[in-house]
Amino acid sequence: MSVKPTYRIFYAVADSATAQVQGSRIWYYNLYLPLCDLGHDVVRFDYDLTPHTRHRDMTVARHRDFVYENRPKLEKALLDQIVRAHAEKPIDIFFSYFYAADITAATLEKIRDMGITTVNWYCNGSYQFNLVEEIAPAYSYCLVPEKFRLADYQRIGANPIYCQEAANPNVYMPHDLPYEFDVTFVGQKYGDRPVYIAHLRKQGIDARVWGPGWQSQAHHLPLWR
């Protein structure tokens, strides 16, 4: 029986994907905990990434101002902690959920120069691919859940790996509860999500949604939550 390899991973991911959802820890539950459950030695980046999650769109002027002032501080703290952790015991993998607003290609090259494999998980490529174009080629690998984006990553010189999204079965599991709705969706309103919900409701399916942005469109589709 083969033994699964374990790695020492430096983990740089905010607990939440968005500051708009108070108390959300989606990445902690679905990225960090599973890596630990698999037996890996996971070293967490000790830095408050929350302000950075609010300023990641470099096409917005106020976001750019924040990034130019604060990205160097983030990068310095990141490199300092990686160097220290790597000296204590070699790091095998640097794992992040970063935009170009969070890190530069030059800093990623410094991490790779230490002999560390760099991996970025990014799941907004369906409509915000431009926000990682500058840094994707600097990573050893990019984990990509949007299959149609693989060619775009390759076009810019990145090394994408198709990696579909999933949920932590230790957190999300069936419960013995009475049936209430045909379809439920919990998540932010953006991209083509409203199109799918609208299609379901037009077919007479009782689809309900919860999350930031849906209330503003409630008058278009009754019972959206």
Using an 8 Å Cβ cutoff, are 160 and 139 in contact? no
Residue pLDDT, tens place only, 134-178: 999 999 999 999 999 999 999 999 999 999 998 999 999 999 999
Question: Global pTM?
Answer: 0.87
Same domain? For 107 and 191 the reply is no
Q: Mean pLDDT, the chain, as a whole number?
A: 91
Question: Is pLDDT at 220 greater than 60 in this prediction?
Answer: no
Same domain? For 141 and 46 the reply is yes
Question: Is pLDDT at 37 greater than 80 in this prediction?
Answer: yes
Domain that holds residue 179: 174-225
Local confidence band at 17 (pLDDT 50, 70, 90 cut-offs): confident
What is the pLDDT, as a whole number, of residue 216? 63
Same domain? For 13 and 47 the reply is yes
Same domain? For 86 and 148 the reply is yes
* CA dist., res. 174 & res. 159, Å (int): 36
Residue pLDDT, tens place only, 66-95: 999 999 999 999 999 999 999 999 999 999
* CA dist., res. 55 & res. 220, Å (int): 30
- What is the number of domains present in the chain? 2
